[in-house]
Amino acid sequence: MLMRATARNLSLLRRCSVHYQSTAAVAVEPVRNPDIAYTQIFINNGWHNSASGKTFPTVNPTSGEVITYVQEGDKADVDKAVQAAKKAFELGSEWRTMDASDRGVLLNRLADLIERDRCLIASLETLDNGKPFVDAYNIDLPLVIKCLRYYAGYADKNHGKTIPLDGSYFAYTRHEPVGVCGQIIPWNFPALMQAWKLGPALAMGNTVVMKPAEQTPLSALHVASLVAEAGFPPGVVNVVPGMGPTAGAAVAGHKDVDKIAFTGSTEAGQQVMETAAKSNLKKVTLELGGKSPNIVFKDANLDEAIETSHFGLFFNQGQCCCAGSRIFVEGAIYDDFVARSVALAKQRVLGDPFDANTTQGPQVDQEQLGKILTLIDSGKSEGARLLCGGARHGSRGYFVEPTVFSDVKDGMRIAREEIFGPVMQILRFENIGELIERANRTEYGLAASLFTQDLEKALHFSSGIKAGTVWVNCYDVLTAQVPFGGYKMSGIGRELGEYGLEAYTQVKSVIMKIGQKNS
């Protein structure tokens, strides 16, 4: 039977998920039991066992069963990968002497190969992460491909400036690649986060040592095989699966790594930054946690605001750093918004993520399941009103019932801490004057959204909210063209867009004395 997205699923995807250009009905058969071809460490375009001989299990969150065992890289393996990347970056190497336009050709070729293997990679994402195949195939993988193609176009457009100086001098700037880039990617969007990091790094001529999340290494390793197939020189991209405290820490602390890019929790990001500073003061970009305010004014298009807010929270099982997890609703529409949000939550279909009718898969692992249930219990004990859900779904796998709390107060744990799960918190506001202060009453600042038909109000609040991205009458519109990153403890630096290139280049000033200067 062909895997087809239902009309309802496609409508919801178009309206409420991350931005993409078009979606037709999925007419491919997902690979439910793929042959796992790549479980080793990828260095110098070849596959290697770990130096220690250790492996670790990667688990299917839908069942809790082991999918396969993956080679567990540690400090010794990271060092081998770094030395390979360092050699590939040497002056005179194939990579350093390659025309910039040819780097773009390689990135486009990699995008083509990912497009060829789109069904398989989406299936690996569903198997390893638990996200619905419809989402992985229709949203994640198209965005992966578009991101790589976007940065392929930038490969030969990286240039400096000439600068007029007083006296007989000539000056210009060069935008040079940083060097060996360590990249640590998360488990919530494994393939997409890999593209976000590989694209700008390779376009600018850097080399990479990547550590995928231990929960979801399979798609990253498959893409590594495509790097070699695309024709990238050995050592340009290296992928070392392993644990965060060992392999991840080794990448962050290695003195021959020139730059580190990390996406994950704020707590882990703080450790990465400290380790990076204590090693060689390497450049750091961090994309971390969030507790994003989503503000719905009484003049909003209520139908659109309710549906978009629902998916701004529940998309990807709530496992989004930018999830709209603090929903502030104006008093005049509060009760209606709450009642209709509960009805939508109750319509969510939990189950086999390979099934086209499933709208919510499992959480990624037992640890996340436990954390979410603990925070749900805190909401109950602190006086929030539980309207639906609030418990584990079934006994097999790591499913959480879609949960909605109303009457949430700013000081409650569920209003302060990142839950990273399918738990909606709805807060009431009456006083617009204090709303910006309430929205900013968080240590995070990754994203925010506003629903209003008043342009002046939208401009005022989007200026006042301390967040790296503000969506107006939409949510989760994330494209390769627009920069993304956080204020405060949500991170440092920006990914995506032209701004995303800055982290992967260094500016060098060259000043020459000349015999005679002419204007």
Q: Let me know: does 51 contact 74? Beta carbons within 8 Å.
A: yes
Q: Distance between CA 64 and CA 74 in Å, rounded?
A: 25
Cα–Cα nearest to 213, from 306, 297, 319: 319
CB crowding 61-94: b at 16 or more within 10 Å, else e: bbeeeebbebbbbbbebbbbbbbbbbebbeeebe
Q: For the chain, how far is it from start to end, CA to CA, in angstroms?
A: 72
Residues 379, 412 contacting (CB under 8 angstroms) = yes
Which burial class, exposed, middle or buried, applies to 22 when counting CB atoms under 10 A from its CB (0-12, 13-18, 19+)? exposed
Whether the CA torsion 309, 310, 311, 312 is positive or negative: it is: positive
| DSSP summary character for residue 212 | -
| Chain centroid offset of residue 390 CA | 27
The helices-and-strands tally (H runs, E runs) of the chain is 17, 20
CA–CA gap between residue 62 and residue 365 (Å, rounded): 9
- Count CA atoms within 13 Å of residue 294 on its CB side: 26
DSSP summary character for residue 98: S
Which of 72, 287, 401, 417 is the catalytic position? 287
Residue with tokens 């260095």: 43
CA distance 68 to 252: 27
Q: At what angle do helices 118-129 and 100-116 cross, to 10 degrees?
A: 70
- C-alpha to C-alpha distance for 52 and 370, rounded to whole angstroms: 31
- Reduce the secondary structure of 299-355 to three states and give it as a string: CCCHHHHHHHHHHHHHHHHHCCCCCCCEEEEEHHHHHHHHHHHHHHHHCCCECCCCC
Do 243 and 237 touch, CB atoms closer than 8 A?
no
Beta bridge partners of 184: 211, 262
Q: How far is residue 58's CA from residue 18's CA, in Å, rounded to a whole number?
A: 27
Which run of H or of E encompasses 267? helix 266-279
Which H or E element spans position 340? helix 331-346
For the purposes of burial, counting CB atoms within 10 Å of the CB of 201, is it exposed (0-12), middle (13-18) or buried (19 or more)?
buried
- For 240, phi then psi, to 5°, come to -120, 100
> Is there a catalytic annotation at residue 287?
yes
The H-assigned helical ranges of 407-515 are 413-416, 435-439, 455-464
Catalytic residues: 287
